[in-house]
Amino acid sequence: MRDSALEQAAAGSTPRLAAAGFLATAISFGPARMGFGLFLPEFRESFALTTTGAGLIASGGFLAFLMALPVAAALDARHGPRVPVLAGAAAAVAGFALVAAAPGSALLATGVAVAGASAGLCWTPFNDAAERVVPQDVQPGTLSAISTGTTLGVAGAGALALAVGLGALPWRATWGLFAAAGLVAAAAAARAVPGGHRPAPRGDDAPAFLRWQTAPLYAGSLVFGASNAIYLSFAADRIAQAGGLPGPLSASAPAAIFLGYGLFGLVGLATGRLEARLGLRPLLAGIFAAFATSLALIGLWPGSWPGVIASAGLHGAAVMTVSATLSIWTLRLFPGRGSQGFTAALIVVAAGSAAAPVLAGPALDALGPRAAFLGFALPATLAALVFAVESVTRNWRGGSGAALQR
Q: What is the pLDDT of residue 361?
A: 85
Separation between Cα atoms, residue 346 and residue 321, nearest integer Å: 15
Q: What is the pLDDT of residue 330?
A: 76
Q: What is the pLDDT of residue 8?
A: 40
pTM for this entry: 0.76
The DSSP 8-state label assigned to residue 268 in this structure reads G
Q: Are 397 and 284 in contact (CB under 8 A)?
A: no
206's torsion region: left (phi>0), alpha (psi -120 to 50) or beta? beta
Q: Are 87 and 75 in contact (CB under 8 A)?
A: yes
Q: What is the pLDDT of residue 227?
A: 94
Direct distance between the N- and C-terminal alpha carbons of the chain, in angstroms, rounded to an integer? 43
Structural domains of the chain in order of their starting residue, each with its CATH number: 9-195 (1.20.1250.20), 210-399 (1.20.1250.20)
Per-residue pLDDT of the chain (406 residues; tens, 9 = 90+): 444 433 444 445 788 888 898 899 899 988 998 888 888 888 988 999 888 888 889 888 888 988 998 898 889 888 888 999 999 999 999 999 999 999 999 999 999 999 999 988 987 788 778 778 878 677 666 766 777 778 888 888 888 888 887 788 899 999 999 999 999 999 999 998 988 766 555 554 455 667 777 889 999 999 999 999 899 888 878 888 888 777 766 666 667 777 777 788 888 777 777 887 888 899 999 999 999 999 999 999 988 888 988 998 999 899 888 877 887 787 678 765 656 777 888 889 988 988 888 888 888 988 999 999 999 999 999 999 999 988 777 766 654 444 444 3
Q: Are 328 and 280 in contact (CB under 8 A)?
A: yes
Vertex 10, ends 185 and 337: CA angle to 5°? 80
For the four alpha carbons of 215, 219, 225 and 228, in that order, the dihedral sign comes to negative
